[in-house]
Amino acid sequence: MSYILEDKDINNITFEHTRNMIKNGYDAVCACDAWNWLKDLTDYSFRGQDYREDSLMYKIAYKMEQLGYTGHSGFSMEFTFSALGFLAKYGKDRFIQKYANFSIY
């Protein structure tokens, strides 16, 4: 089971805004080497997480901003973490099947 997405996989996500959030979050999780942490995470809300500056969730969110995505609300951030957590747990094929036509709007 692989969590590695190629551009062609991400381009299968129909809705542009959703695709941009997933791509940015994916790149940030890769840059922070956080796939094992994300795979084990059960609560994707910021309310339930340690959000100090030294926490991994904070580092990933900060990396998302560094990579150019600054339009997150709390809900869209939770959605992105949840979607990438699904990818980490269930792999690329199930991820694409679930999120290809998914939009949070």
Residue 22 pLDDT: 93
pTM listed for this prediction: 0.87
Q: Per residue in 10-69, pLDDT tens?
A: 888 888 988 999 999 999 999 999 999 989 887 766 554 555 666 888 899 899 999 999
92, part of any domain:
yes
Residue in this structure with the two tokens 């959605």, named with its chain if needed: 79
Residue 87 near residue 95, CB atoms below 8 Å:
yes
Residue 50 pLDDT: 57
Domain count, the chain: 1
4, part of any domain:
no
105, part of any domain:
no
Q: Per residue in 76-105, pLDDT tens?
A: 888 898 899 999 999 999 999 998 887 766
What is the domain range of residue 38?
14-99
Residue 65 pLDDT: 95
47, part of any domain:
yes
Reading the block at residue 57, the tokens are 């969730």
Alpha helices per DSSP H over the chain: 7-10, 16-31, 35-40, 56-66, 74-90, 92-99
